[in-house]
Structure 1
Amino acid sequence: MALAVITFNGERLEDPITERPLTTVLRRHRQLREQVERLCRRLVECETESRFSARLEMRLNELLAQEEHARDEMLRFAVESIEDCAAKAEHLRWLLNEGDSGLEDADWNLLLQSFVNSTPVAAGAFS
């Protein structure tokens, strides 16, 4: 069975049925980061209007926990191909361009190990 590669404005679009596992992990992390950013902006608007929203704050805490889990999954995901390396590097560039990657030294170690070995070591193993 032949697979078709579809591009849109030079960006490769893949069939969601055959999407690579890493693509799913990266997309989930990006979506959660964007949701956190939107909710943070809403909370700032509430503060400037002297309103307090416990509901928004609870939702933010939930989203932050989900984003942390998705970030950890992204860091640990072992690349399987050069395409995976490029996708992961592009995602990291996006994080860095956002100004707050949320990555600590142990996270960087996990990330780098995921490029080298298909079974990343536990956090702090390089310390």
Structure 2
Amino acid sequence: MNCRSSVEIITEWDIVAARQLGRNEAKKAGFGTVDQARITTAISELARNIYLYAGQGKIEIERVSEGGIFGIKIIASDEGPGIADLRKVMEDGYSTSGGLGAGMPGVKRLMDEFKVVSEVGEGTTITTTKWLH
């Protein structure tokens, strides 16, 4: 069941590729159009953050199951500068790129599970899951 696909994020076009992969995997997993859009939006935010702040990284998408419930797990990882102040990044409206600041808090709201591991100078890994209800 656990089928993992990934997209290396190096150029802006890779963000589009990651979104498309996410939508296809969400559709295969049985998510409706609204949840497909949520998953795609989360992937877009995560991939854009990799591109803007780390320069390059990877989006992995995995169909998962736990106790008979199916879902999609997204792992966004990079070896960039890391996040110095995670609490600040998780505040609504906070943006270092001049964007809307919906980024990380937005991803957390769109998905069911959300976990960030970041080391300054080492990189960041964000793991988030959406369950099929």
Q: Same fold (TM over 0.5)?
A: no
Which is strand-richer, 1 or 2?
2
Q: TM-score, normalised by structure 1?
A: 0.30
Task: Looking at secondary structure, tell me which structure has more helix per residue.
Answer: 1
